[in-house]
Amino acid sequence: MAKYYINAGNRISKINKEIYGHFSEHLGRCIYEGLYVGEDSEIPNVNGMRTDVVEALKEIKVPVLRWPGGCFADEYHWKDGIGPKENRKRMINTHWGGVVEDNSFGTHEFMELCRQLGCETYVNGNLGSGTVQEMSEWIEYMTFEGVSPMADLRAKNGHPEPWKVDFFGVGNENWGCGGNMTPEFYANEYRRYQTYVRQYNASMDTEENIDTPELIRKIACGANIDDTEWTEGVLKTLFRHCEPRFHGHADGLSLHYYTHPGGWDHKGSATEFDEKTWYMTLAKAAYMEELIRMHGAIMDQYDPEKKLGMIVDEWGTWFDVEPGTNPGFLYQQNTMRDALVACINLNIFNKHSDRVKMTCIAQMVNVLQSVILTEGAKMVKTPTWHVFNLFKNHQDASLVESHIETKQIGEEEQFMVPNLSESASVDSEGRLQITIGNLSITEDCFVETSIAGFDGKKASAEILRGEMHAKNTFDDPDAVHTEAYEVKLSEDGLSFTVPACSVLRITVEG
């Protein structure tokens, strides 16, 4: 039995909808086949975007999409991807699988995809191998309204109206694939490049920060995992002689952390794993909280008011590729283990939404921890998709104080995890939203909840559950699915059982 306390009267922070963001890279079958099939495809599409996939993504309310990479971003030259398709450069994607990149998906197509999804745009610029002029012209091309060489070129290519760039990443993993830089060198480069990422559509007098939507919010490259030296070095240089925010320098600092059960060299199978590996994976996922605290403490020193967002723009499981698939395509299946990893991470992000302002799961379709898998005309929604669907009511809700008395479980001392993962919010309709996962493979857990500051009248719930290896396949696409679930609301509070290996969403109406 576990005791759960919720104080709905204590609203802690806004859970930015962007915490539920996604990432799409020119990698494997994410963009091509997964999202974009071209207008002439037999697979039903609108302007080249797969209708089935777009519909499934709209259902989980994708708030923001990051593109074109990843490591690909620092090798991407945007002018290769505009203009008549037959004239676009063909090249080898040397980073990912050595396949031909025909640039048929470029800026116009990305903006069209985001239009169809109804989501914000997060474009990642090339600082590693591109020039300041190239980055500056891309911004002009996308956002300038009026007469200018790039705005004219955009009109010539069929889009006279400017687009909205909501977020712009100035480089990606510049400590590694984005140029192998030192933090100080990167931060100086960042300062220079971002100067020419002009805010054409906003007054610079605005008290801007990550929550000022009329601006392009600029994201600096942050650390890999626990590299606090990078965070410290970048912030020291960014804040030197100025507070970045006032100059529109930086609105966010990224963090990348992937969950590999046995480390980079022992990722293991996505579908075949034992109990020990289950707990090891979940413990590694839960490490996200320590990382947020670690980097957050450094950010607090420079930015105690938390105006600079922590942007976890790559997270998720990274296993061995499915046998027989291109190792450079990073295609992996998705099981209930991934569902629990998603649940743990999203609850952590909610709980730290005072600092964590956006996150992007890697990656949207057919790559790493995807919400969608495709094979030809077939599509499946993964267990991770279902978790995003269960959690979507947290988007733009207010995080409320909550605490659960839970025990540590696991099979090895160094990989123990809390039995339960939870977070709670009050949404814009005044409903209490609770998401809770049971990390145990074998034991159900009965939970007694006492709720303060909220007069609950009616409660309903939905559950995702299955055996730990359960997954959706192209032959059995609905094996893992959600269903309605019974919870009890009385004068004594809310009580319910969280079955082993499950994720639950409870909505309490006031």
- Evaluate whether 438 touches 445 at the Cβ level (below 8 Å): yes
Q: Which two tokens stand for residue 139?
A: 């911004």
Question: Is the Cβ of residue 257 or residue 273 nearer to ligand AHR in the bound state?
Answer: 257
Least distance (Å) between residue 313 CB and ligand AHR: 9
Least distance (Å) between residue 69 CB and ligand AHR: 5
Least distance (Å) between residue 197 CB and ligand AHR: 20
- Evaluate whether 386 touches 464 at the Cβ level (below 8 Å): yes
Question: Is the Cβ of residue 81 or residue 248 nearer to ligand AHR in the bound state?
Answer: 81
Least distance (Å) between residue 317 CB and ligand AHR: 11
Question: Is the Cβ of residue 172 or residue 231 nearer to ligand AHR in the bound state?
Answer: 172
Q: Reduced to 3 DSSP states, what percent helix, strand and coil does the chain have, rounded to the nearest 5?
A: 30, 30, 45
Question: Is the Cβ of residue 311 or residue 506 nearer to ligand AHR in the bound state?
Answer: 311
Residues that bind ligand AHR (CB under 6 A): 25, 69-71, 172-173, 314, 362-363, 368
Least distance (Å) between residue 316 CB and ligand AHR: 8
Specify the amino acid at residue 426: V
Question: Is the Cβ of residue 8 or residue 361 nearer to ligand AHR in the bound state?
Answer: 361
Q: Where are the alpha helices (DSSP H) in 335-472?
A: 336-351, 383-391
Distances (CA, A) of 25 to 18, 83, 194, 408, 430: 18, 21, 22, 37, 37
Question: Is the Cβ of residue 141 or residue 175 nearer to ligand AHR in the bound state?
Answer: 175
> In sequence order, which residues have a C-beta less than 8 Å from that of residue 293 and are 6 or more positions away?
none
Burial class (CB in 10 A: 0-12, 13-18, 19+), 429: exposed
Q: So which residues are the catalytic ones?
A: 173, 314
> In sequence order, which residues have a C-beta less than 8 Å from that of residue 419 and are 6 or more positions away?
2, 406, 407, 408, 409, 438, 439, 440, 443, 445
Q: Dihedral, CA atoms, 308, 310, 311, 312, nearest 10 degrees? A: 170
Question: Is the Cβ of residue 263 or residue 304 nearer to ligand AHR in the bound state?
Answer: 263
Element (H, E) at 258: strand 252-259
φ/ψ (deg, to 5) at 86: -65, -20
Question: Is the Cβ of residue 303 or residue 314 nearer to ligand AHR in the bound state?
Answer: 314
Measured in whole angstroms, how far is the alpha carbon of residue 272 from the centre of its chain? 25
Question: Is the Cβ of residue 70 or residue 183 nearer to ligand AHR in the bound state?
Answer: 70
- Evaluate whether 53 touches 372 at the Cβ level (below 8 Å): yes
Least distance (Å) between residue 250 CB and ligand AHR: 19
Question: Is the Cβ of residue 76 or residue 78 nearer to ligand AHR in the bound state?
Answer: 76
Least distance (Å) between residue 403 CB and ligand AHR: 34
Please give the radius of gyration of the chain, using alpha carbons only, rounded to the nearest integer: 22
Q: Which two tokens stand for residue 137?
A: 């012209």
Residue whose pair of structure tokens reads 């998603």 in the numeric block: 342
- Evaluate whether 107 touches 141 at the Cβ level (below 8 Å): yes
- Evaluate whether 276 touches 412 at the Cβ level (below 8 Å): yes
Q: Tell me the β-bridge partners of 220.
A: 170, 253
d(CA 411, CA 408): 10
Residue whose pair of structure tokens reads 């192998």 in the numeric block: 180
Least distance (Å) between residue 267 CB and ligand AHR: 13
Least distance (Å) between residue 368 CB and ligand AHR: 6
Nearest CA to 344 out of 380, 367, 312 is that of: 312
Q: Where are the alpha helices (DSSP H) in 309-375?
A: 336-351
Q: Which two tokens stand for residue 147?
A: 């007469």
- Evaluate whether 172 touches 69 at the Cβ level (below 8 Å): yes
Least distance (Å) between residue 226 CB and ligand AHR: 15
> In sequence order, which residues have a C-beta less than 8 Å from that of residue 310 and are 6 or more positions away?
222, 252, 253, 255, 292, 295, 296, 299, 352, 355, 356, 357
Which residue's CB atom is positioned nearest to ligand AHR?
Answer: 70
